Structure formats: C-alpha cells, structure tokens
C-alpha cells in the first residue's frame, strides 16, 4: 500500500525532529507524500522540500494556522501554499507575536502557583524553535515539578488546567482567507477537537465552508473508526474534500509515528488527486 501523511511538525514549530530528519523518517516509514504543516510558520519548508528531493519523498508545502471560533481554538491546515507569497510573512509575524506574548504570561502564572521557573529556561528548552507549551512542560520536568511532559499538561498547561492562558488568535475568516490568498487549500484539522464547541459540528462546517474552507481532516491519528466514518460522511454531504494525517510531533507525542499514527492510521493516496486538481484549478482561476 502506498502510504501518505498530510500532517506533520518539525523543530520549526513544536516538533522534535528537524525538517530533514522528519523527511528521512517518513521515507523509512514508507511514506511517499508528506505534507509539512508547522504551526504559524513556513520556516521548515525549504529544508524539507530539498531533503524530499534527495531521498524521494514528495513534500507538499503546508502550514497549520490556529484560529478562534466562539472561544474554542480550531486549527486550519493549508496545503499547496506558495511560501513566497508576500502576504504570508507579515500575517505570520503577527500570529507568532501573539503566541510569544502568551508564554511569559503562562510562566508568570506558574510562578504564582508556586513553580520556580524562569522564562529564560523555557527559551533554552526551545532552542531555535518557536516557544510553545511543550517547552514550558520540558522546563517543568527539568525542575522536577512533574515527571513527564504529559503530566505537565494534565496538571498545569492543558486548556482547562490552572496555568492555561488564552492567546489572541485570528478569526476563522482570517485564517481561511490567508491560506486561500497564498494559493492554498484550507482544511479543518483534527475535527474531533471541534467537539468542544456547543454548536453542532455540521453547522460549524457549513459556517467554515461559507468562509472558504475546502476540506476536513476526517482521517486522523486519534479518531476511531466511527469518528472517521462520521467526518467522512459529513465531508461528502457538504461537498468538502477528505484529507488525513498523523499530526506527528516526535517526542512531544510519544508512540505517535509519521505515516502510521498510533499504529492503525492509513491515509489513502487516492485522496491526493482531488486535492491536486483543486489546487491546480485555483491557480488557473
């Protein structure tokens, strides 16, 4: 079976492998097409694409942009984007600034909760990558407040935990609009996370489609069979593309592998054709 994976992160955002390492691992895993979709950055794309050419993996230039829908954070994947589009970098710089702005507030909150921790330690954990919650988690592990990254999330950092701080995010209209403006196909990532919304999922999809959404990531590492079938049928009913990916992060998500997710992920290569056709049609339009 030809294996593809349309959702993976590198050290350019919160993944633990460099773009080159990610592409080489994908190759080892038998992945023939890989989309690199870092959070709010395209910094890893050129290395990933160059490595893909070297080792023989088709790398789709992608991105994952966070947005806020009725107080719930949703992620919009963008595929076949043009990384050189002049509209992209100024918008991403704004989004990153809001992310950067949140992290010192989380550290401050942790200090209030009794954890001796400095922002410098968090930055050190991040190295050259964009600082994210996983780096704060690593710093908490190093200080001995928790024994693992997942415990750090459970006790402090998860969306409903005491040190959680919301950040200013673009609206779905802005995130979807930006992806379309730079030639990309906007797709709702991990739709199961949208179950935090009170609104019925079908209605959320219809609203997002009205804003220009073109697909749903129906096939996803943590979806069970029933969820996959449900999201597939909603996509079909609403005339949206079906996509699929692992959301590979490396160490930050142990046991989750590129290409196979938690072991039973299988993203059919046949999904690529309609995506490519749509990307081409949009280029010509």
Binding site for Zn ion (CB under 5 A): 64, 75, 189, 247
Q: Which two tokens stand for residue 66?
A: 């966070």
Of 143 and 196, which CB lies nearer to Zn ion in the complex structure? 196
Those residues whose C-beta lies under 8 Å from the C-beta of residue 37, and which sit 6 or more positions away, are 6, 7, 8, 9, 62, 63, 64, 77, 78, 245
CB of 85 to Zn ion, least distance (A): 21
CB of 196 to Zn ion, least distance (A): 13
In whole angstroms, the minimum distance from the beta carbon of 20 to Zn ion comes to 19
Residue placing its CB nearer to Zn ion in the complex, 8 or 272: 8
- CB nearer to Zn ion: pick between 75 and 180: 75
- Our CB check for Zn ion shows the closer of 126 and 189 to be 189
Measure the CA–CA gap between 285 and 278, rounded to whole angstroms. 10
Q: Which of 51/247 has CB closer to Zn ion? A: 247
Closer residue to Zn ion (CB): 117 or 253: 253
Min CB(51)–Zn ion separation in Å: 20
Q: Which lies closer to Zn ion via its Cβ, residue 20 or residue 247?
A: 247
Distance CA 64, CA 73 (A): 12
CB of 170: closest distance to Zn ion in angstroms? 14
Tell me how far, at minimum, the Cβ of 115 lies from Zn ion, in Å. 26
- Give least dist CB 74 to Zn ion, A: 9
Considering beta carbons, is residue 116 or 255 the nearer one to Zn ion? 255
Helices 172-181, 88-112: axis angle to 10 degrees equals 140
The residue number whose beta carbon is nearest to Zn ion equals 75
Q: How far is the CB of 116 from Zn ion (least distance, A)?
A: 31
CB-based burial, 28-37: b 16+ in 10 Å, e otherwise? ebebbbbbbb
């Amino acid at each position: 079976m030809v294996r593809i994976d349309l959702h993976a992160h590198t050290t350019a955002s919160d993944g633990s492998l460099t773009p080159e390492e990610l592409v080489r691992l994908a190759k080892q895993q038998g992945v023939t097409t890989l989309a690199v979709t870092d959070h709010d950055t395209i910094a890893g794309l050129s290395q990933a694409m160059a490595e893909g050419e070297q080792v023989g993996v088709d790398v789709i230039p992608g991105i994952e942009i966070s947005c806020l829908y009725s107080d719930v954070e949703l992620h919009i994947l963008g595929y076949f984007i043009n990384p050189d589009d002049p509209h992209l970098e100024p918008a991403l710089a704004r989004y990153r600034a809001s992310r950067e702005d949140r992290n010192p507030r989380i550290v401050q909150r942790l200090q209030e909760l009794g954890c001796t921790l400095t922002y410098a330690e968090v930055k050190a954990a991040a190295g050259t990558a964009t600082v994210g919650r996983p780096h704060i988690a690593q710093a908490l592990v190093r200080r001995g407040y928790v024994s693992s990254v997942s415990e750090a999330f459970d006790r402090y950092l998860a969306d409903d935990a005491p040190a959680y701080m919301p950040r200013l995010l673009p609206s779905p209209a802005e995130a979807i609009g930006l992806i379309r403006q730079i030639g990309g196909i906007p797709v709702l990532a991990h739709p199961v996370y949208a179950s935090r919304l009170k609104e019925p999922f079908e209605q959320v999809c219809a609203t997002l489609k009205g804003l220009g959404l073109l697909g749903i990531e129906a096939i996803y590492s943590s979806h069970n069979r029933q969820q996959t079938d449900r999201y597939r049928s909603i996509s079909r009913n609403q005339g949206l593309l079906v996509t699929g990916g692992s959301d590979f992060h490396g160490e930050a998500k142990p046991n989750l592998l590129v290409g196979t997710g938690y072991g039973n992920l299988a993203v059919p290569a046949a999904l690529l054709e309609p995506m490519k056709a749509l990307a081409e049609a949009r280029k010509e339009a």
